[in-house]
Amino acid sequence: MSRFVCKIAYDGTNFSGYQVQLNGRTVQGELEKALKKLHKGKAVGIIGSGRTDANVHAESQVIHFDSELAMAPEQWQRALNAILPKEIAVLEVARAWNGFHARYDAVGKEYRYRILQSRNRDVFRRNYTYQPFPMTTKVEAMQQAAAYLLGTHDFTSFCSPRTDVEDKVRTIYSIDIRDVGDEIVFTFNGSGFLYQMVRIMTGTLMEIGQGKREVEEIQRILEAKDRFKAGHTAAGQGLCLMRVDYEPSPFSTQRNEENEG
């Protein structure tokens, strides 16, 4: 039995999220369906670095699975991509070391959120940006407010109540907010993120940028530990998981050579 780790990308538009659900098409469900086909009807479960909501995308999600099939990583990549729907792509496969865990071994993640500021509806970006109307946002105010979120805090106020996670302490390393053409792009780097945390932080920062809240209010929201004190949850389609970090990386050339040996 060998453990394999995969880096995958997906367009979340037509999925009910990453995690398997009783009624709904999911990324995990499609991946496990493909693995079941390759294993001649035998169910094979996968573990992801985390879950994403409906309409949320990923440029670099990481999963792992165990298999008795004697296939090289490049064979796994070709075989899975031949079966998976076009919205999912396996970008890289490696043989993981014993005990590797896609979720528990992750040491950091990066998310990107895109807001479209155009007054005209953009039919080509509607599934990948959030376009609220009206949209007059001060980036400088959001940057000032974001500074309060940096560091280690209890992020209960920025987490959906619909979670079973008890420890809501996380560390935010950086938040970058900038104008990029007709978009405002948020980039969040942290040790990990709670359920809907990035979307709630984005929604709250947007309200500050629109003048609906004061910059200093972020500190009071953190201290309150109350979801209802924070702003709205920004729409899912603007969010994309960009990167999952590991130390060492399971995709590093050296580790791959050791695992193959």
Start-to-end C-alpha separation, the chain? 15
The span from the CA of 191 to the CA of 8, in Å, is 20
226 catalytic per annotation = no
| CA atoms within a 13 Å half-sphere pointing along the CA-CB vector of 168 | 22
Question: What pairs with residue 115 in β-bridges?
Answer: 130, 184
Annotated catalytic residue, options 11, 53, 66, 154: 53
Cα distance between residue 236 and residue 247, in whole Å: 29
Q: So which residues are the catalytic ones?
A: 53
